[in-house]
Amino acid sequence: MQFEITKEYIENIQQLIIDKHDNTLLKSLEDVHYADVAELIEELSTEDSLYIIKLLDSDFTSDVIAELDEDDREKILKGLSSKEIAEEIDELDTDDAADIINELPEEQKEEVISQLEDVEHAKEIVELLRYDEDTAGGLMAKELVKVNENWNVLTCVKEMRAQAEEVTRVHSIYVVDDSDVLKGRLSLKDLLTTSTRSPITDVFIKNVDSVNVHDKTDEVARIMQKYDLEAIPVVDELGRLVGRITIDDIVDVIKEEAEKDYQMAAGLVDDVEADDSIIELTKARLPWLVLGLFGGLGSVFIMEGFDAALGNYKELFFFTPLIAAMAGNVGVQSSAIIVQGLANDIIKGSLFKRLIKEVSISLISGVVLGLLIIIFGLVTSMDFKFSFTVAISMLCVIIIASLIGTFVPIILDKRGIDPAIATGPFITTSNDIFGIFLFFYIAKSILGF
Amino acid sequence: MQFEITKEYIENIQQLIIDKHDNTLLKSLEDVHYADVAELIEELSTEDSLYIIKLLDSDFTSDVIAELDEDDREKILKGLSSKEIAEEIDELDTDDAADIINELPEEQKEEVISQLEDVEHAKEIVELLRYDEDTAGGLMAKELVKVNENWNVLTCVKEMRAQAEEVTRVHSIYVVDDSDVLKGRLSLKDLLTTSTRSPITDVFIKNVDSVNVHDKTDEVARIMQKYDLEAIPVVDELGRLVGRITIDDIVDVIKEEAEKDYQMAAGLVDDVEADDSIIELTKARLPWLVLGLFGGLGSVFIMEGFDAALGNYKELFFFTPLIAAMAGNVGVQSSAIIVQGLANDIIKGSLFKRLIKEVSISLISGVVLGLLIIIFGLVTSMDFKFSFTVAISMLCVIIIASLIGTFVPIILDKRGIDPAIATGPFITTSNDIFGIFLFFYIAKSILGF
């Protein structure tokens, strides 16, 4: 059932473009889904892509353009005139249209908007441009089906048919009063299973979830997931129905959110992708590396402070990378669990219980790992007092590292800062320094140097 | 619009349970969404939860139970008899029903199934139990609306009304032939906008995406996201329609996939949550820590091998945590970008181009960081030759670490192994060892000790 873009298919298309065999080209692309054409375009040169975009109908290419990666879309739009862009946007739903206009250079935005043919559509797009990208208003579309609570069912069905022509997918039919205030919804299922003679007030569901136009997108995602909604109406401050958000847009929000956390944990500052430019990738990577460098230079100072140990206990220095790695790994594990727990809203109970739990986990892990070190010491005939010291210090480092990993994200979250920034290099670097200091300090207390 | 579970609300409910004020309790819980009751139950003791579950109707509590966390559900189900569990399952859609039965202890499964009242429903659940959890069959529900291609529209509408009663949400109406082979679909929108007199063969869309019952869930997720589908029909080997998958189940797959990658990157072996038990959490964390320990012991050997440097260049040992941290951070960054690129299918172009790109990025980063080290050396009046050596060695370590981080996931992916296991502790540990060895080796070549 799935269409696959093979190398042969791409080469065939490229040859058809060179030969300008427009009819054969049109034939090869007919019946191909717009998402597949978008994938094809990502493989072609900008010139070839523009050739195809200009050849095909704008009611099809508009969907292709909306489907493209932001970077690829930018290249295509640069090759189109404002008039041509306006033609594409005329065909799109308001939410996709507003997203694309938002990506245009400032000076081109007005020009494109002024060339839109459908004035009603243009007005709705301009309204959407007012909202922040990360709010319900920035995510919603104006396309929806609504009926007035005072209508009878026959009027509703007639009106709905007319409205449904404009809407790609009908999820719910919203019921509003004369001032457009959201009153409830009609489910399509009820519509299928109810006699057409029933009065509308008898049929519609009065209790309907909605979000405010200024609600954050991650909150909208949480609500839609929790209540298993496929679409949610968006209301303004006065409760008036101004748009609706569908689950496919929320899927993108959820994915982006998850990817952002993953990238932060991996020490990437910006949202980068493997096919971004070298400069973009470096800009996303270098900041955390510089932080790591400063952390590393900090531990140079700490170790210089303990260089008296070089006399009798030079092996302590051989163990520092191990200690630093343990502190880092334990810290990242603890913080990842907390960050995910915070995101899924399952960090419950008192902080004291959480403390007891973390200490217990690190005690068990620390004792197991400490025993392994002592066994290693026996096998390599190390001085017992020395390997015991390393084991004990490591146990302390693990406990402290796990507490830092646990409580730094909790504290950040309480202060309204995204706890995900605490994962990855931030925790590893601070745990490195702290772990190395603690290791030498405890070793010095036991061994005395 | 949203309901919030406050501490007062919980205490009030707990008091009502103690006082056995069933009527007031029923009143407090009426109009509360099942997802909110599920959240409430996660806050209550098992006894109190069971009191509420037994008090409320099973057509409501079945949804509550399906909504619970797996751990919480297990506790509740342990407190219910097989007969009571069967009553709950009778109310659920086949996909949720099969999931819950799958979680029961082996010996209880048959008992619960034999007590189901609706025989047709029970048969469908048993059919679903045959499929692997991570396949389309394991995800799909049997509830769907289908019509025969030979029917006329009037028969269809009548049949659909009857079928829709059984289905929570009607997404698409599937069209099948006499042998149940999937032929196409009727969109609800077309239904709203078409005259009831049209023959069905004229109305239905012949081209319909579908997945095979044995397709993996992540492949289903990819297809549904790419084509922006809200439901997809599932067919067996003979093309017969056997079920459908809806987008809300796919949202869970996407989230779990993203969380799994994140947890692997953070060095967690199992899918754990903050509120899991100490034993479960330790089991998920310890394996990577042990690996890290062995890695650390490996670097102890390496440093012992270079202990001649302790004479004139003891500072080299102070720099090892810095070098290890850099190797780890760079490796994790590179692998995270590749793992995400592989997941989103955007790793294109030749491996040689990828190599050039990674080397360029690490050269830029390495030179910047190297200069910072040389400046640090000047400020702390370090020997120039020494700080230059550290900078050059670090540059080499960064290049090699980024290549390991890039190519290990690519190679794993080519061999059909989940590349995500290469992120996190695996890359950090191997890069630690390799980085430290390279650092000392290059330092020895330049400084000669």
The nearest CA of chain B is from the CA of A113 a distance in Å of 27
User: What pLDDT, on the 0 to 100 scale, is given for residue B71?
Assistant: 84
Query: Structure tokens of B264?
Result: 């692997």
| Contact (CB<8Å) A296/B288 | no
| Distance from C-alpha of A21 to C-alpha of A18, rounded to nearest angstrom | 8
Query: Of A312-321, B231-240, B333-342, B419-428, which gets the smallest average pLDDT?
Result: B419-428
Determine the distance in angstroms separating the CA of B329 from the nearest CA of chain A, rounded to an integer.
Answer: 7
CB contact under 8 A, A324 and B324: yes
Percent of all residues in chain B with a pLDDT value above 70, rounded to a whole number? 95
pLDDT for res A65: 94
Does position B179 have pLDDT exceeding 80, yes or no? yes
Query: What's the pLDDT score for residue B168?
Result: 65
Q: What part of B 294-313 touches A (C-beta under 8 Å)?
A: 295-297, 299-300, 303-304, 307, 310
- Residue A175 pLDDT: 92
B169: pLDDT strictly greater than 60: yes
Mutate to test the interface with B, among A37, A283, A317 (most CBs of B within 10 A): A317
Q: Which pLDDT score, from 0 to 100, does residue B337 have?
A: 87
pLDDT tens, position by position, B143-165: 888 888 888 777 777 787 777 77
Domains of chain B: 7-133 (1.25.60.10), 145-246 (3.10.580.10), 278-447 (1.10.357.20)
Mean pLDDT of chain A: 88
Cα(B403)–Cα(B401) distance, integer angstroms? 5
Q: What is the pLDDT of residues A372-394, one digit of tens each?
A: 999 999 999 889 999 999 999 99
The answer to whether A227 contacts B262, with C-beta atoms less than 8 Å apart, is: no
CA dist A342 and A335 (Å) reads: 10
Q: Each residue of B11-62: pLDDT tens digit?
A: 999 999 999 999 999 988 888 899 999 989 988 999 999 999 999 998 899 9
Residue B1 has pLDDT above 60, yes or no: no
Does residue B80 carry a pLDDT above 80? Answer: yes
Confidence of residue A160 (pLDDT cuts 50, 70, 90): confident
Higher confidence at residue A165 or residue A75?
Answer: A75
How buried is A363 (Cβ within 10 angstroms: 0-12 exposed, 13-18 middle, 19+ buried)?
Answer: middle
pLDDT at A307: 87
Q: Provide the 3-class DSSP secondary structure of residue A186.
A: strand
Residues B115-124 pLDDT 10s: 999 999 999 9
Q: What pLDDT, in 10s, does the model give residues B306-324? A: 988 888 888 899 999 999 9
Closest chain A residue by Cα to residue B317: A317
The pLDDT of residue B349: 65
Identify whether the C-beta of residue B88 lies closer than 8 Å to the C-beta of residue B79.
Answer: no
CB contact under 8 A, A248 and B247: yes
B324: Cα separation from own chain's centroid: 31
The verdict on a CB contact (< 8 Å) between B314 and A310 is yes
Mean pLDDT (whole number) for B354-359: 86
Interface contact flag, A189 B207, Cβ < 8 Å:
no
What's the confidence (pLDDT) of residue A8?
87
Mean per-residue pLDDT over chain B, rounded: 88
pLDDT for the residue numbered A1 = 46
| pLDDT of B259 | 81
Measure in Å the smallest separation between the Cα of B294 and chain A Cα atoms. 9
- CA distance linking residue A73 with residue A62, whole number of Å: 11
Distance CA A21, CA A56 (A): 13
User: The complex's ipTM?
Assistant: 0.78
User: How does residue A438 score in pLDDT terms, banded at 50, 70 and 90?
Assistant: very high
Chain A contact set for B376 (CB, 8 A): 297
The mean pLDDT value for B330-346 works out to 84
Out of A69, A209, A329, name the one closest to residue B425 (CB): A329
Residues forming beta bridges with residue B205, ordered by sequence position: B185
Contact A274 B223 (CB under 8 A): no
Grouping H, G, I as helix, E, B as strand and the rest as coil, residue A170 is coil
Interface of B with A in 165-184 (CB under 8 A): 165, 167, 169-170
Q: What letter does residue A205 receive in the DSSP assignment?
A: B
Asked whether the beta carbons of residue A293 and residue B369 sit closer than 8 angstroms, the reply is yes
Q: Is the pLDDT of residue B132 over 50?
A: yes
pLDDT at A73: 93
Q: Would you state the structure tokens that stand for residue A110, as one six-digit string?
A: 């007005």
